[in-house]
Amino acid sequence: MEAESRVPGPPPLSGSPPGGGGGAAAAAAAPRPGPPGAARAPPPPAPPAELGFDDDEEDLEVFSKDTSLTEANSFSPLIPTSPSSMLNQYKFEDEPELRDLFITVDDPESHITAIETFITYRVVTKTSRGEFDSSEYEVRRRYQDFLWLKSRLEEAHPTLIIPPLPEKFIMKGMVERFSDEFIETRRKALHKFLNRIAEHPTLTFNEDFKIFLTAQAWELSSHKKQGPGLFSRVGQTVRAVASSVRGGGVKNRPDMFTDINDYMETFNQKINLLDKISQRIYKEERGYYCEMKEYGPIHTLWCASEEDLVDSLKGVASCIDKCCKATENRMAGLSENLLPVLHEYVLYSEVLTGVLKRRDQIQAELDSKVDALSNKKAEKDLLTEEIGNLEDKVECANNALKADWDRWKQNMQHDMKTAFLSVAENNIHYYEQVKHTFLFYFYYFLFISIPLRSQCIVFKNNCLYPHLNVLSSNSIFLSNWCLIGQYTWYVFYLSPSMLILSSSSTEGSLVLLSTEI
Amino acid sequence: MERPEAAPLGASHSCQAGEAEPGPGPAEEEPGGGAAGTMMEDCLSKKIEITVSEAEKRTGRNAMNMQETYTAYLIETRAVESQTEGQCSPPDSLWRRYSEFELLRNYLLVNYPQIVVPPLPEKRAEFVWHKLSADNMDPDFVERRRIGLENFLIRVASHPIICQDKIFYSFLTQEGGWKEMVNETGFQLKADSRLKALNATFRVKNPDKRFTELKHYSDELQSVISHLLRVRARVADRLYGVYKVHGNYGRVFSEWSAIEKEMGDGLQSAGHHMDVYAASIDDILEEEEHYADQLKEYLFYAEALRAVCRKHELMQYDLEMAAQDLASKKQQCEELATGTLRTFSLKGMTSKLFGQETPEQREGKIKVLEEQIHEGEEQLKSKNVEGREFVKSAWTDIERFKEQKNHDLKEALISYAVMQISMCKKGIQVWTNAKECFSKM
């Protein structure tokens, strides 16, 4: 048969054919027949391990031919390596070729001492920047270190939007602090945290950031001690509390920042809801998966007492099993592409509230000096000079915040759009997979009553066209295959609306064309 | 042997059995009325079209003169010939309630013990998942029951033997006085007591092996279908949850879109599609309930199979007891005649203690016994014949049932696949629309 030349090698005659593998094989093997119709979705993005060399090249095009990048992609097994999630990791608004700092967080390790148990993560940095002494660094950091970095950045840039860190611990549910799921979620969030800083036009050049990425453990400890001590931080906190008590800055706050504040209130509400809804959907999908896992095998069990129904029942059992696999993929898509994004923006809400407060405090400082000026006649010159400085400070802070806000807004839109698009795609792919599985079953059992003959039987638009030979080698690709009974059955798509069911039995193949139901 | 055409549940709401899929090798059909001796091809379903077209809530007084609410179902019958002539004569119709269906079925069970009598749809909703109501008055339940009752009538009408029953025909055509008519047949008295049947099941020594196997089969069938239905209900519950939670996206997207300038439109329209997605599950699961009903029918059929087995065991036990009784009488007779006492008996003891009987007494006893033996032998012969005939006709019907079951279950599984496909198509549609909206964000 002409079509056989297209099949990439004989498929293994085992009981369980690859779920999405058929699609991947199709992508690698034969040319596509024209534009895919609405009935068929493009094959799923398979992990690079399964795809041919072509797809690695595609990756390289996006990220530039920098060899350091390919190493970054391939060396860490813990980072999801599917193309779509890689795109999520390396999201940037600048052009790819301008990136010169690549950070990965992986390899969580447990450390047990007499006092405590904690986890450290490996942070690997690759860079071509001159400020860095070397082009590659590998250090181990624990959560505390990340907290330190964040607070240092907040101090240095009070009105810049510092990316959020994952929570210290989860209150709800008795999730053990060191469960694998918890550690993995945290690792991904920490990875995101560092990369967001790296992408930030200002923060990326922060000195503490550089030390965080490059210093060995003892170096970092000693550097931490050098920083503004506990007392100065206390002083800041006291001033902050005092100014907020005074209702600092709100009366002179430019409208723009009031708008941002109002926006954030609503946004915060909605994003929290979306986070909860999405977690709930994940839970329900998992529940569905568990029940389906039990549902399928009952059909196989039933076979034991029914001779004549064995094929029908086993067929349904295998369809349901494929459904389960497809559901697993759907869930993985949610947990990789949607849940972390929503959760990060839940945490961002808190960050932004803090930034607005700090801006208000700076404004409050100015306002209080201005008030003082109008009250105290003496020390006029000193106050005026101070006020001048503070006015500059306020203007800087406002501009910084404004610019960062615009940038944040843009990022947020992009992230949300990408996340929800990927959910939609995941769901489309899920339904396509399940549909094809059951469609195959349907056609097989509907047509199984037609006796095998050696010539082609064409059944199109509910009519029989004997001896019609429409198989042209350019237009067929293998979409799926399944083992039923003794024979292997192949499904080929001739066009988006016509498929061929073919058997490998030596008695001659039963070839059918039909329109989709 | 023609396979009676019973259209599977859910295939259509008013099924014409005559239009069902042709089975392999259609037998020849005699024209209506039937020549003498050929009863097989004249199924009632070929002559009249039966539908249960409506259901109505009624209130009335029950046997204890208390107010009650019940549902009545409208049975319509129409002669098939009038259809083909292009005329549409108005159907004859009458109202029946579920308890009357039960009465009919019990009547059939008693009078046709060799037939696997089609089951009724369930009395109370079972295997419900949380959204599904267990209330008998719930409109969805009533609707599914209506379809089930119609299916029951068509199955009976398609059965070559029971379709000819007069009581069944009056059930379809005679509204008033039917209940009295049934009760007058006195079928309740003919019914075998449950206790007798249980006793026979335990004590029978040599039942036909095929029936023993059939009993095991029906137990397995019942157990596996129950399990399947239970898990299916849980699957439906989860699926419902997945879809409905997505509905929340609709609301939140809409609220969120109010504060967004560029993303607003995309969010708003995507939210609408999420609502559509969430709403679509109701129809999907309603259709799946019909599939569950098809399986339930065979769950209940298992009980009908067991009823036939029980009857066989009862008859066989009866036979064995009669044979045993005959053998013991013969032995008694022999002992009396030869004067030997092989077995211990009270008579023997008392005669030893108090003296033997006179020869005349003995002669009298022997004569009585010989008469009884003669009667017993006749009875045994006829019981044997009955038993054999029962086994033969029962087994014929069981073969018919098996073919019907295989056909129906295969079709049910295919219809399940079709439902999944249609669900997927809807899902693809909605998410493709949503994707477009998201891309405009």
**What band does A44 get if pLDDT is binned at 50, 70 and 90?**
very low
The closest of A97, A9, A84, A88 to A415, measured between CA atoms, is: A88
Q: Which pLDDT score, from 0 to 100, does residue A412 have? A: 94
* A135 pLDDT higher than 60: yes
Question: How many whole angstroms separate alpha carbon B420 and alpha carbon A117?
Answer: 50
pLDDT at B45: 74
Least confident of A188-202, A263-277, A377-391: A377-391
- Longest CA pairwise span in chain A (Å): 110
Q: In what order do the strands lie in the sheet with A117-127?
A: A101-112, A117-127, A136-142
Chain B residues with beta carbon closer than 8 angstroms to that of A410 = none
Q: Can you tell me the ipTM of this complex?
A: 0.82
Please enumerate in sequence order all residues whose Cβ is within 8 A of that of B249, keeping only pairs 6 or more positions apart, or say none: A274, A277, B270, B271, B274
Q: Which residue from A minimizes the CA distance to B427?
A: A431
- Considering only residues A232 and B294, tell me which one the structure prediction assigns the higher pLDDT: B294
Q: What are phi and psi of A458, to 5 degrees?
A: -110, 125
Check: pTM over 0.95? Answer yes or no: no
The larger pLDDT score, comparing residue B362 to residue A434, is at: A434
**Rounded distance, CA B134 to CA B153, Å?**
24
- Are the beta carbons of B432 and A428 separated by less than 8 Å? yes
Per-residue tokens: B419: 């439902």
| Ordered alpha helix ranges (H), B79-208 | 80-84, 98-111, 139-158, 166-173, 178-184, 187-190, 194-203
Q: Residues A341-350: what's their mean pLDDT?
A: 93
Cα dihedral B137, B140, B141, B147 sign = positive
Count of beta carbons in the 10 Å neighbourhood of residue A49: 6
CA distance A147 to chain B (A): 31
**In the block, residue with structure tokens 């059930």:** B171
More confident of the two residues A370 and A356: A356
A381-436 tens-digit pLDDT: 777 888 888 888 889 889 999 999 999 999 999 999 999 999 999 999 999 999 88
User: Å from B27 to nearest chain A CA?
Assistant: 20
What is the 8-class DSSP label of residue A2?
G
% of chain A exceeding 90 in pLDDT: 32
Average pLDDT over residues A442-463: 47
Q: In whole angstroms, what is the distance from residue B55 CA to residue B61 CA?
A: 19
Residue-level pLDDT at A442: 79
Q: Does B198 touch chain A (CB under 8 A)?
A: no
pLDDT tens per residue, range B390-408: 999 999 999 999 999 998 9
Which chain A residues are Cβ-neighbours of B232 within 8 angstroms?
Answer: 295
Q: Is the pLDDT of residue A502 over 70?
A: no
- B-chain residues within 8 Å CB-CB of A427? 427, 431
Candidates A435, A444, A447: best to mutate against B (most CBs of B within 10 A) is: A435
Beta strands A477-484 and A487-495: pairing type? antiparallel
Interface membership of B89 toward A (CB under 8 Å):
no
Pairwise CA distance, residues B317 & B323, whole Å: 10
- CB-CB under 8 Å, A416 with B248: no
Once rounded to an integer, what is the mean pLDDT over residues A102-116? 87
Query: Which pLDDT does position B64 carry in this prediction?
Result: 81
Q: What residue ranges in A51-198 does DSSP mark as E strands? A: 101-112, 117-127, 136-142
Helix, strand, coil percentages, rounded to 5, for chain B:
65, 5, 25
Q: Per-residue pLDDT for A58 more than 90?
A: no
- Report the percent of chain B where pLDDT is more than 90: 49
DSSP state, A13?
-
Residue B438: exposure state from Cβ atoms within 10 A (0-12, 13-18, ≥19): buried
* Residue B121, token pair as written in the block: 């749809």
- Report residue A74's pLDDT band, with 50, 70 and 90 as the boundaries: very low
Measured CA to CA, the distance from residue B1 to residue B400 in angstroms comes to 9
Ranges A94-108, B219-233, B364-378, B405-419: which has the least confidence:
A94-108
Among A513, A515, A448, A449, CA closest to A482? A448
The sign of the torsion formed by the CA atoms of A517, B6, B10, B13 equals positive
In the numeric block, which tokens belong to residue A169? 């611990």
Is it the case that residue B122 has pLDDT exceeding 50?
A: yes
What's the confidence (pLDDT) of residue B126? 82
Which of A231-245, B274-288, B419-433 shows the lowest per-residue confidence on average (mean pLDDT)? A231-245
Contact list in B for residue A270 (CB cut-off 8 A) is 252, 255-256
Looking at A204-208, B221-225, B333-337, which range is the least confident one? B333-337
CA-CA distance, B177 to B439, in Å (whole number)?
A: 70
Greatest mean pLDDT range, A57-66, A393-402, A487-496? A393-402
Residues of B in contact with A306 (CB under 8 A): 406, 409
Q: Strand pairing partners for B50? A: B77
Mean per-residue pLDDT, B195-199:
87
Average pLDDT over residues A121-129: 91
Rounded to an integer, what distance in angstroms lies between the CA atom of residue A146 and that of residue B423? Answer: 47
Which residues 110-149 in chain B show a CB within 8 A of chain A? Answer: none
- Residue range A453-463: mean pLDDT, rounded: 37
Least confident window among A235-249, B280-294, B295-309: A235-249
**Residues in chain B within 8 Å Cβ distance of A413:** 262-263, 441
Within 10 A of B68 (CB to CB), how many other CB atoms are there?
11
Beta partners for B56?
A: B72
- Tell me if A428 and B259 make a contact (CB, 8 A cut-off): no
Query: For the residues of B18-51, what is the DSSP string, one character each?
Result: GGSPP-SSPPP-PPTT--TT--TT--HHHHEEEE
Helix, strand or coil, per DSSP, at residue A423: helix
| Residue A357 DSSP SS3 | helix
Alpha-carbon distances, residue B48 vs B54, B168, B175, B176 (angstroms): 18, 13, 17, 21
pLDDT at A42: 40
> CA of B247: how far to CAs of A39, A413, B270, in Å?
25, 22, 11
Partner-chain residue, chosen from A309, A417, A435, that has the shortest CB–CB distance to B406: A309
pLDDT level of residue B46 (50, 70, 90 thresholds) = confident
User: Mutate which of A306, A311, A409, A514 to disrupt the B interface (most B C-beta within 10 Å)?
Assistant: A306
Q: Tell me what the mean pLDDT of segment B351-379 comes to.
A: 80
Mean pLDDT, residues B230-255 taken together: 94
Burial category of B44 from C-beta neighbours within 10 Å (exposed 0-12, middle 13-18, buried 19 and up): buried
* Residue A408 C-alpha from the chain's centroid: 18
Q: Higher model confidence: residue A71 or residue A180?
A: A180
Q: Which of B227, B231, B439 to mutate to test the interface with A (most CBs of A within 10 A)?
A: B231
B323 Cβ contact partners less than 8 Å away, ≥ 6 residues apart: B380
> What is the token pair recorded at A305?
């007492």
Determine contact, residues B48/B14, Cβ cutoff 8 Å: no
pLDDT above 50 for B208 = yes
Could A416 and B242 be called an inter-chain contact, meaning their C-beta atoms sit closer than 8 Å? no
* pLDDT(B277) > 90: yes
By Cβ distance, the residue of A263, A277, A292 closest to B249 is A277
What mean pLDDT comes out for the span A325-353?
A: 94
Q: Are A26 and A480 contacting, i.e. CB atoms less than 8 angstroms apart?
A: no
Min Cα distance B404 → chain A (Å) is 12
Closest in B242, B259, B266 to A263, CB measured: B259
Mean pLDDT, chain A, whole residue set: 71
Does the distance separating the beta carbons of A305 and B220 come in below 8 Å?
A: yes
| Sequence-distant (≥ 6) Cβ neighbours of residue A419 within 8 angstroms | A337, A338, A341, A342
Nearest residue of B to residue A431 by CA position?
A: B424
Least confident of A32-41, A159-168, A484-493, B318-327: A32-41
Is the model's pLDDT at A290 over the cut of 60?
Answer: yes
Determine which of A76-85, A471-480, B250-259 has the lowest per-residue pLDDT on average: A471-480
pLDDT at A329: 95
Please write down the HEC assignment for all residues of B10-23. CCCCCCCHHHCCCC
pLDDT of residue A222: 81
How far apart CA B299 and CA B297 sit, in angstroms, is 5
Alpha carbons A488 and A505: distance in angstroms, whole number: 7
Q: How confident is the model at residue A32 (pLDDT cuts 50, 70, 90)?
A: very low
